[in-house]
Structure 1
Amino acid sequence: MTGNIVNTVAILIGGTLGLVFKSKISERFSNIMVEALGIAIMVYGISQGITTNNPLILFTSIALGALIGEILDIEKKLNELGDFFQSRMKNATGVTQGFVTASLLFCVGAMAIMGGLQGGLQGEHDILYAKAFLDGVMSIIFASALGIGVLLSAASVFLYQGAIVLLSGFLKPYLAAAVVVEMTAVGGVLIFAIGITMLKIKHLKLGNMLPAVFIPILINLFYTL
């Protein structure tokens, strides 16, 4: 769990630094930073989404994943958790947005999956160390724009990646290279959707789309059978 712990701590440190900067940034500049981040995230999401080798898998994964997420109403549960944290913090605003946005961004990428597998199966943490650096830098930027909710995403990352580490022996047979490629592409689409929401083009139920990342595993199992 070393790599996962380092990643979690990096988000906490980066987020704390971002909060220090936030107190010195006016709302005018904070708003333009959110818009700039939204555009950058959309471009990054596109770059990940086009890596798919089979668009049909991509479309099916997004559709089925969103359906499953809507049935489970994951978005509502994430928002309720964010609202709970906000209710416990004096003068805190935007906690839910920061928590949900950062949690999704830090969890849906391939580095979280492959880093967790590497740590659990090989006891090496190179991928998660690299992810820790990237997440730490992004936490500074996001916390300075979105606030303390970004720090709370560290708990989401720790639990999500920790589960992958602990279940790595079970998951490895189902995560062939081709499957990971499609999971990365689906994650890219979700990251693109984060940008859409941040730019207030349309509010999307991103939490409900989260199961889509894992649908390529089920499709691969279906093909195998």
Structure 2
Amino acid sequence: MRKGIFITGTDTDIGKTHVACAIIRILKKRGIDCGVMKPVQCAGEDAKRLIRSSFSKDELSLVNPFFSKYPYAPVTAFAKEKIRFSRKKVINIYHKLSMRHKFMVVEGAGGLIVPITARYRICDLIVDFKLPIVIVARLGLGTINHTLLSVEYARSKGIKIAGIIFNNLSRRIGASEKMNPRIIKNLSGVPILGRVGYSPYAIKRKTLSNIDIDISRIIYE
């Protein structure tokens, strides 16, 4: 069994938190003690959603050690708010949480190359945590390029990819939405772990519906 998983995406607002919460709730239903972490967050309440989904008793300051109120890239938001990011601190907190829980679900900010500082990116954080990733991608036109770029970049950094989960962000199900997962799987060789169906109620109420995820591929090597 893996120690945890890192949820990343092909873009910001791609549905990482929604997918992370779905994974957490599936793990909880299986009786797996699940810790959560959102190391870096710029505006929003993603970390609090992770805590609610997992019923975590861990302090928010551990779940989300670096927070800015500004909705910018971390490197910009932290500079504006004079927040000094510490690589050592975030790694130590991750190890502390991972010692408390059987399985960790960690959510990134934006995509793999998002800068936390001028010299440290989300991909570097993943390497430091030594976790495999799940890539959250959209279904529609353009996702082939974005998803394959994320796959190739992760591989270039030696990051293991557990699989891809598609999040359908609109009601539309056309030819692209139907064919893209198969094309991406064939071109990348990365397993498709499932998809999250469009639900306006889920988007509005932050609930989970239309979830189809192969959790075994996430839990096990």
Q: Under a length normalisation based on structure 2, what TM-score does the superposition of the two structures give?
A: 0.21
Q: Could you say which structure has the higher strand fraction?
A: 2
Q: Could you say which structure has the higher helix fraction?
A: 1
Larger radius of gyration: 1
Higher relative CO (Cα under 8 Å, sequence separation at least 6) belongs to 1
